[in-house]
Structure 1
């Protein structure tokens, strides 16, 4: 915390008409059990009040909020032969990053304890959760109505609401964020005054007010609209999307192009897609009258898969972000995090996202398709170009989507043919149709006289448990995916 912010915070806290559930004053009371219970209670109370932090201040008189100073020294205090901070940390669950700070407040020594609001579950001290009600610190379990509300708040808490940059002046906010792009992409007129700009940014949870007339940029605001992600902590900067191109089929081959994202997703997305498209090999297509060049992979498929990687990544995984890799025979898009839906059900399951605010804003800005239609469009484009089926798979703590370069049916592996059959059946089913031998032949580009080839693939897909006859008594009525 900056020294200026600390002083502004203390000034505002002293001018509160009374203590709140997230701000409390002490003078010299340094009882370790009291501090532990207060950390639990105030962390939970801050979340209930939609505050990012709670604060416990030593050296402020309760009665008139006068700065009287304190003798409390957290760095030297021991509890059961352990440093106080270690003793407290061992007894708090889940772990939170509380911080003591000694402050010279206009010549008076104060101590500030900054307590982050609960995020994943109620914060407990010695296996008990507490809450602040007035000046009391009762057990949270004794107040089931508050516990219920707290759990509702915790379930809606998301990474996007966290703070990426704190205590910034208005000029600093506008210098770090491409606010003009925000208005342009969301189709809103740019206000003619600063207050109008800030009101809109607050409404979309891109910034929030801080003490002393200053501002915070949220994780959502930074990751979408940062002019330079490197202006923010590594937890944000490392979320930048990266692109790498190789001159062969493996990562041991020579890197021909590399692009490390510098901008927020919203303002850098179109540039990245254009960059990838510009490097993509072209195939010559001969139509009825003209020759034309077509990209190796459908642009709508790349656009949607990259958008999905941004939206569905697990932001809590640090040190990594989405990655796009181009090989001579395929394009791989990887995002950190286990999927919330099994890959074989991406097409039909209602979409679930860890980052709902990010997904909602990207859809409003038309940077990705409407909710639930993205994978449909990927598969439709792949079938239209008669490409091998895309592969969606889980690898460690990441999800990888692979687009393959054109290959004839004869050159596809048996596994690829079966996967294409399943995806085709699923695509037909969600559009209210059924897969038949004829539709599968068209998808693969198989001549009618070779219908047995399509029948063989359907038989293998049935044996693999991926498709089944729509009507077992009438096999010619078509086929549906196993979950239909």
Structure 2
């Protein structure tokens, strides 16, 4: 299997029109991309998008890209049987006892919002009154979960068989894993130019409204995590997988030294991406700390400089007006 042409490879050949509609959510996909298509028009549009191709002996050849986005049942497709979005909810903060497991079978476009709703409904939330209206408030920002899940789907390595994007919900965190090593250094997820193994899947999912423009989704996710005052996410390469952990609410006093340093670094990255600088005041705001806690934040900044995560804008700047940049800037 050549991963660079996987999306265009034929998953099935000689399908009739009725076969295409039987095995795929054709109308859902086409309706999202263009309005007013009849069934025959939908088939023509799939051809135009190169999701299917006319077969030499009649009917249509179906691409893996159509399977990935619009399959009614992944288990029908050899090599893709376990590529659906998998959701596991554990009791407590360990994997000792799984309370629930859902193995998705729908193609990613159809499955995405359903999976996102399932995740959010299983995370801590509460009803609050705002401006006279009852609203649901979640411990984990929906936008952050959405963008990181979309990232996991789009950037996975389809040459690694046996599992697909996996979401694990613990009492204190959510872990999202996809097959495939990170294509950029985990420290550079915010600023590095976007790279993907699956350009056609990324483009189609963007046009279907599942993900952001290239590179902007992770920035948005990290920004939402900051605004919620959560500990910084942890991005790791574990074996041949990319693992992103989003932590639940924990105040500055309960964050580890490593988390404080990582939060400081990511904050500097986000500020740099906006052509701005990090300061003691901006980092205090990120940690939801007061002016009285200036010295605590100064200590975090000092340690982040010492381990070369950030650097001062100017070597001779005064402490009170000091500005900082990520090390790579």
- Which TM bucket (shorter chain)? over 0.9
The structure-2 alpha-carbon separation of the partners of 1:284 and 1:179, relative to structure 1 and needing over 3 Å to count, comes to closer
After TM superposition, give the deviation of residue 399 of structure 1 in Å: 0.4
After TM superposition, give the deviation of residue 356 of structure 1 in Å: 0.6
Structure 1 CA distance for aligned equivalents of residues 253 and 13 of structure 2: 59
Query: Normalization by structure 2: what TM-score?
Result: 0.95
The structure 2 residue matched to 1:224, chosen from 69, 78, 92, is: 69
Structure 2 CA distance for aligned equivalents of residues 261 and 166 of structure 1: 25
The structure-2 alpha-carbon separation of the partners of 1:177 and 1:289, relative to structure 1 and needing over 3 Å to count, comes to closer
1:245 equivalent in structure 2: 89
The structure-2 alpha-carbon separation of the partners of 1:172 and 1:292, relative to structure 1 and needing over 3 Å to count, comes to closer
Structure 1 CA distance for aligned equivalents of residues 95 and 126 of structure 2: 24
1:483 equivalent in structure 2: 328
After TM superposition, give the deviation of residue 370 of structure 1 in Å: 1.7
The structure 2 residue matched to 1:417, chosen from 260, 264, 267, is: 260
Deviations along 1:169-190, one digit per CA (max 9) or x if unpaired, are 221112111110111221x124
2:157 equivalent in structure 1: 314
1:256 equivalent in structure 2: 99
> 1:32-431 to 2 correspondence within 5 Å?
119=2, 157-186=4-33, 188-192=34-38, 194=40, 196-233=41-78, 235-252=79-96, 254-283=97-126, 293-431=136-274
1:273–1:302 contact (8 Å) kept in structure 2: yes
The structure-2 alpha-carbon separation of the partners of 1:312 and 1:323, relative to structure 1 and needing over 3 Å to count, comes to same
Structure 1 CA distance for aligned equivalents of residues 53 and 202 of structure 2: 20
Gaps of 5+ in 1: 1-95, 97-118, 121-156
The structure-2 alpha-carbon separation of the partners of 1:421 and 1:272, relative to structure 1 and needing over 3 Å to count, comes to same
1:298–1:381 contact (8 Å) kept in structure 2: yes
After TM superposition, give the deviation of residue 477 of structure 1 in Å: 3.7
2:20–2:26 contact (8 Å) kept in structure 1: no
Structure 1 CA distance for aligned equivalents of residues 181 and 262 of structure 2: 21
Deviations along 1:342-388, one digit per CA (max 9) or x if unpaired, are 11101001100100111101111111112211111111111111000
The structure-2 alpha-carbon separation of the partners of 1:424 and 1:211, relative to structure 1 and needing over 3 Å to count, comes to same
Q: Aligned with 1:217: secondary structure?
A: strand
Structure 1 CA distance for aligned equivalents of residues 61 and 233 of structure 2: 41
Q: Which piece of structure 1 moves more, 214-223 or 328-337?
A: 214-223
Given the alignment of the two structures, is residue 451 of structure 1 paired with residue 298 of structure 2, yes or no?
Answer: no
Q: Aligned with 1:450: secondary structure?
A: helix
Gaps of 5+ in 2: none
- RMSD between aligned residues: 1.8
Q: Aligned with 2:38: secondary structure?
A: coil
Number of aligned positions between the proteins:
327
2:144–2:224 contact (8 Å) kept in structure 1: yes
2:27–2:42 contact (8 Å) kept in structure 1: no
Structure 2 CA distance for aligned equivalents of residues 290 and 266 of structure 1: 31
The structure-2 alpha-carbon separation of the partners of 1:445 and 1:286, relative to structure 1 and needing over 3 Å to count, comes to farther
The structure-2 alpha-carbon separation of the partners of 1:285 and 1:279, relative to structure 1 and needing over 3 Å to count, comes to same
Q: Which piece of structure 1 moves more, 282-291 or 319-328?
A: 282-291
1:183–1:190 contact (8 Å) kept in structure 2: no
Query: Normalization by structure 1: what TM-score?
Result: 0.65
The structure-2 alpha-carbon separation of the partners of 1:266 and 1:291, relative to structure 1 and needing over 3 Å to count, comes to closer
The structure-2 alpha-carbon separation of the partners of 1:465 and 1:289, relative to structure 1 and needing over 3 Å to count, comes to farther
After TM superposition, give the deviation of residue 288 of structure 1 in Å: 8.9
Q: Aligned with 1:468: secondary structure?
A: strand
Structure 2 CA distance for aligned equivalents of residues 170 and 445 of structure 1: 58
